[in-house]
Structure 1
Amino acid sequence: MPDLITRGADALADALRFFTRLPAPARFGAQETGPLFDGVAAAAPVAGVVVGAVSGATLALALGVGLTPLAGSAFATAAAVALCGALHEDAIADVADGFGGGRTREQKLAIMRDSAVGSYGAAALALALILRVALIAGLAEAQGPSAGLALVAAAALARPLALAPTRLLPPARTDGAGHAARPSLAAVLAGCGLGAAAALLAGGLAGGLVAILLAGLAVLGLSALSRRQIGGVTGDVCGAAAQVAEIAALAGLLMAAS
């Protein structure tokens, strides 16, 4: 039992380091050997719950002091972006620039590795943020402060789905996160199962089921596009998968709440 608790604490610490900028205690996790991605995949929903809880609490606070649902949604989105260090936002911009701006597979991969943001990336980033703010505002109008639970559901579901492309696609490079971050199928399935359970608990049966369906389809669609564009998966594709899964999940939760 103590060993099981230690492995769980290590997995949670690695997942928090991987998905957020929260300082996990140094004595837990893989530390100098790099993240243990089986643990990251399995504990990913917990990291999502943390992100969703912070974002949901920010929304509830904003609504509680009299801000409009739109303003509260903007603050809730900003809190999540800050907590995650804009990790997924950077990824979706890189993917859009690479897929849209490159003609060959090699050009696409080179553009995705470039830190500059082009027009495709800027447009994708703006649209992703607009969609999140609009969807959260719709949930806040429909559910009030309790809409924070929907944010928890979407975030918990999206984080394990971020690693699903690593099992659906081969690595597109021989180096980088897409090559190194390849958890086992069992770990990814465990994480996705826990994420789905969290979505059902926080989002309700109807909302949870629609969110799971739409988020899964979004990640499958992105994975198919990535196979066609670059022949595999990169770390940026995983980050973009988290972004599209969360947007799709929020859309599903709003559809069920309307």
Structure 2
Amino acid sequence: MNGLALLFKFMTRLPFPGGNKFDSKALGNSMKWFPIVGLIIGVINFIVAGLLETVIPSPVLMGILLVTLDVIITGGLHLDGLADTFDGIFSYRSKQKMLEIMKDSRVGTNGVLVLVLYFIFKIAFLVEASELFGVSQGVIMLIVPVLSRISGVINCAFEPYARPTGMGKTFVENTDKLGAGIAYGTVAAILYGVSGYFGLPYLNLFLVLNILSISGFLFGKLMTKKIGGITGDTLGALLELSSVLSLVLIYIFL
């Protein structure tokens, strides 16, 4: 429970009881429960959407507010990783130089471009998927944070850490294949419950889960080839890319 509390405090800005004593191993071991963090975020998204839908009739405005809420809850932590990763990887420099660029707090052109495209694609596919299938944006944004967190756990279980030190190393060193399996099973179970409650096609969502898992695994292999492993920045980037990809896949398969 201490590890789970630490994970909530590290990955979100949500108040959570416990976790007052920092334990790097407990934090690293808790990565297998990362989808639970996504579930809590998703429930908040669902509740807020339910409260706002009676006073905000515009689907686009609702989409903007829900995506903004997601950023507020996480404190923009993963978006920072997304920008840094694209600045580094698309600099087409040596591995060491890429890592240096990613560590730089300044945001470059590639980082700005990917952030702009991220918000455009995320809001557009959220609105379109909701309109096309008659599913509320709140339900979709309940599912997406859960789906998007499986890839990071898989990366931590299968890929090395690219730097000698770093907070992300804690997760990599303490997440194994069993932990990835637990995270995968947790996501599958949550999807089963949500699909049953809201009348969504479970097999379609299960297909989305598997595509995300495979694409996340391949992303990790690409990062290892490019920079010798994964980092906290690439994990953040993967989470945000997975959230967009999950919306695209929901739009295609739901």
State whether TM-score is above 0.5. Answer: yes
* Superposed CA offset, 1:194-233 (max 9, x none): 0122134324313312321331233123212212210111
d(CA) in 2 for partners of 1:137, 1:92: 22
- Partner of 2:116: helix, strand, or coil? helix
Aligned twin of 1:192: 184
Aligned twin of 2:89: 99
Equivalent AA in structure 2 for residue 111 of structure 1: I
Aligned twin of 1:81: 71
Query: Higher mean Cα deviation, 91-100 or 142-151?
Result: 142-151
Match of 2:166 among 166, 172, 176: 176
1:133 and 2:123 correspond? yes
1:167 and 2:157 correspond? yes
Root-mean-square deviation (Å) = 2.0
Query: Higher mean Cα deviation, 182-191 or 85-94?
Result: 182-191
d(CA) in 2 for partners of 1:135, 1:115: 30
Aligned twin of 1:222: 219
d(CA) in 1 for partners of 2:126, 2:214: 20
| 1:30 and 1:36 in contact (8 A); partners too | no
Aligned twin of 1:251: 248
| 1:88 to partner: Cα distance | 1.2
| 1:157 and 1:198 in contact (8 A); partners too | no
TM-score for both structures, normalised by structure 1: 0.87
1:42 and 2:32 correspond? yes
Q: Structure 1 regions of 5+ residues with no counterpart?
A: 1-8
Match of 2:4 among 12, 36, 59: 12
| 2:24 and 2:170 in contact (8 A); partners too | no
| 2:28 and 2:170 in contact (8 A); partners too | no
- Partner of 2:138: helix, strand, or coil? helix
Write out the 4+ residue segments of structure 1 that deviate beyond 4 Å after TM superposition: none
Structure of higher RCO (CA pairs closer than 8 Å, 6+ residues apart): 2
Structure 2 counterparts to residues 57-76 of structure 1, below 5 A: 57-76=47-66
Aligned twin of 1:118: 108
| 1:30 to partner: Cα distance | 6.9
- Partner of 1:58: helix, strand, or coil? helix
Change (3 A) 1:65 1:142: farther
Query: Higher mean Cα deviation, 114-123 or 136-145?
Result: 136-145
Aligned twin of 1:242: 239
| 1:143 to partner: Cα distance | 4.7
Change (3 A) 1:241 1:249: same
- Partner of 1:198: helix, strand, or coil? helix
d(CA) in 1 for partners of 2:53, 2:133: 11
| 1:132 to partner: Cα distance | 1.2
TM-score for both structures, normalised by structure 2: 0.88
Aligned twin of 1:213: 210
| 1:144 to partner: Cα distance | 4.9
| 1:86 to partner: Cα distance | 0.6
| 1:110 to partner: Cα distance | 0.3
- Partner of 1:164: helix, strand, or coil? helix
- Partner of 2:16: helix, strand, or coil? coil
Q: Structure 2 regions of 5+ residues with no counterpart?
A: none
Query: Higher mean Cα deviation, 232-241 or 248-257?
Result: 248-257
* Superposed CA offset, 1:159-182 (max 9, x none): 242222122211111101232222
